[in-house]
Amino acid sequence: MEPAHRGLGRCACAFWLAVAFDILGLLILLLGVFANVFFYDFLIYAGAIVIFLSLIWWVFWYTGNIEVPPSELEDDVGLLKKDKGNLGGISGAVRRLSSRVSNGIRNSFRRSDGPPRAPRTGARASAHARVAQQRDNTPVALATMTPHEDSPHTVSAAVDCDSMPHTTTETLPT
């Protein structure tokens, strides 16, 4: 048998913290309004912020005391009710559609390298390995020329690889 919670409910600590924050915030706010100090605006803002933070404790207290009968909770946590057994009807179709959509979204965020390929053999495998090694270890050199008064800036990129052509990019003078 569940213990009977009377008065403040299950979350009495959150209740008393909320009350303490409210009282402290109200005292600070009223001190800022009625006290003749040069930092009254700081006290007013600080009191309002403390009262606002008390809302966190009020929400904790309220949500901690919500009681849901287990019969209503079964459907929300994914448990099937014993009298229904299988997923038939509209609710079953909605569950299947929801599951497909969520799995599709979940899988779309996963990194995939595509379908697995068959391993290469023979001369083709060694040529493929050479090309992959060249792609991974390609040195790149950039050269900048000092600007002359009448010529545009020139940036040249040279790549030490037979498969890539030499490129030059020109820009307008600034």
pLDDT for 108 equals 80
Inter-residue contact 166 to 158 (CB < 8 Å): yes
- Return the structure tokens found at 101: 């959509």
Check the CA dihedral 150-153-159-162 and report its sign. negative
**H or E segment and range at residue 154:** strand 154-159
Contact 47, 30 (CB under 8 A): yes
Determine what percent of the chain is predicted with pLDDT higher than 90: 30
In sequence order, the β-bridge partners of residue 156 are 143, 168
For 142, list phi and psi in degrees, rounded to 5: -115, 135
Q: Return d(Cα 156, Cα 162) in angstroms, integer.
A: 17
* pLDDT (mean) for 159-173: 63
pLDDT given for residue 21 in this prediction: 98
Radius of gyration from C-alpha coordinates of the chain: 35
The DSSP bridge partners found for residue 154 are: 170
pLDDT score of 144 more than 80? no
Q: What is the pLDDT of residues 52-68, one digit of tens each?
A: 999 999 999 999 998 87
Higher pLDDT, 101 or 123: 101
**134 pLDDT above the threshold of 90:** no
Q: What is the pTM of this model?
A: 0.43
Q: What is the pLDDT of residue 121?
A: 58
State the pLDDT at residue 161.
Answer: 54
- What DSSP line would sit under 6-75, residue for residue? -TT-S-HHHHHHHHHHHHHHHHHHHHHHHS--TTHHHHHHHHHHHHHHHHHHHHHHHHHT----HHHHHH
What's the whole-number mean pLDDT along residues 116-131? 58
Structure confidence at residue 160 as a pLDDT band (50, 70, 90)? low
Is the predicted pLDDT of residue 77 greater than 80, yes or no?
Answer: no
The pLDDT value given to residue 75:
63
